[in-house]
Amino acid sequence: MSGHEFTSYFPNSGGIDLDDQSTNIDDKTIEELEQLASRYPQARSALLPMLHLVQSVDGRISPRGIEVCADILGITTAQVSGVATFYTMYKRRPGGRHHIGVCTTALCAVMGGDVLLERMEHKLGIHDGETTPDGTFSLDRIECNAACDFAPIMTVNWEFMDNMTPERADELIDELAAGQEVHSTRGARITSWREAERVIAGFPDGRADEGPAAGDPSVLGLRIAQEHGWHAPDPAAIPAPAEEESK
């Protein structure tokens, strides 16, 4: 031995877990996958949604899911796994009932995201990228989720959990573990990661009307403008351009 063990610089990279051949994909799933493929001018465009649907059915990107997608689209399984391993939302090991995301990109990290991640790792007894042994929670550190005016943020099953604190994060885990009703701060009632994946794949769950139109920060500028009576100019008061008048 050289005494110099190889360590990958890309942990969690690598292929699909081929040892676990279990699957729930049935004829109905295949029909729905074909339906996704038919929505696009060229069927292969449906691959990302199809892989989301595979996850919602199998709880991960399964070998059977890869075969079925390749089969429907007429491409190779290598092409499908190449795509499945590129995107961070696709999981190669079974995900938990709830997916917990903690934003640790610079701004959230500085404002408390690092503390939240540490707290969640301690609370759940797992590291980011792992799932609890009972299959209830998966934990991921996530990259900027476009909610910086609500920092620091977390997500549950890709629903926003805005303005998080360590205490609130702990409570959230307790409530979810106890099966209590939990609502996103700007979204719907929390269901499960697999149900969320089905909506993302393109099969609506009828919950679009739940939750508010906007969070307070989203309408802060609007409220201030209303208080001051500020608005864009009245179009009727804008003189028409000269060349249009002469037409």
Partner 1 sequence: MTDLLTPVMSANWADDRAWKLTNYERRDGYKALRKALTMSPGDVMGVVKDSQLRGRGGAGFPTGMKWSFVPKDNPNPKYLVVNADESEPGTCKDMPLMMASPHTLVEGVVISSYAIGVHTAFIYVRGEVLHVIRRVQQAVREAYSAGYAGKNILGTGFDLEIIVHAGAGAYICGEETALLDSLEGRRGQPRLRPPFPAVAGLYASPTVINNVESISSVPAIVLNGATWFASMGTERSKGYTLYSLSGHVRNPGQFEAPMGVTLHQLLELAGGMREGHQLKFFTPGGSSTPILTSEHVDLPLDYESMAAAGSMLGTKALQCFDETTSVVRTTLRWIEFYNHESCGKCTPCREGNWWLVQMLQKFEAGTAQEGDIEKMLDVCENIGGRSFCALADGGVACVTSAVKHFREEFEAGYHTPAWELFPYEKSALFATPPSTDEPRTAVEAHA
> Residue 183 has which token pair?
């609502």
For residues 42 to 61, the per-residue mask of contacts with partner 1, x marking binding by CB under 8 A and - elsewhere, is x-xxxxxx-xx---------
CB of 217 to partner 1, least distance (A): 4
What is the Cα–Cα distance from 217 to 222, expressed in whole angstroms? 10
What is the Cα–Cα distance from 44 to 79, expressed in whole angstroms? 11
Q: Judged by CB under 8 A, does residue 94 bind partner 1?
A: no
- Residue 200's closest CA among 34, 33, 35, 51? 51
CB of 64 to partner 1, least distance (A): 19
Amino acid at 122: H
Q: Judged by CB under 8 A, does residue 225 bind partner 1?
A: yes
- In the complex with partner 1, the residue whose CB is nearer, 25 or 73, is 73
Q: Judged by CB under 8 A, does residue 184 bind partner 1?
A: yes
Q: Judged by CB under 8 A, does residue 170 bind partner 1?
A: yes
> Residue 129 has which token pair?
């990228």
Angle between the N-to-C axes of helices 77-84 and 47-58, in degrees from 0 to 180, rounded to the nearest 10:
80
What is the Cα–Cα distance from 28 to 93, expressed in whole angstroms? 23
Q: Judged by CB under 8 A, does residue 218 bind partner 1?
A: yes
Residue ranges in 97-156 that form contacts with partner 1 under rule CB under 8 A = 101, 104-107, 109-112, 114-115, 119, 122-126, 132-134, 142-152, 155
- In the complex with partner 1, the residue whose CB is nearer, 19 or 222, is 222
- Residue 201: strand, helix, or coil: helix
- In the complex with partner 1, the residue whose CB is nearer, 27 or 243, is 243
- In the complex with partner 1, the residue whose CB is nearer, 28 or 231, is 231
- Residue 17's closest CA among 75, 73, 59? 59
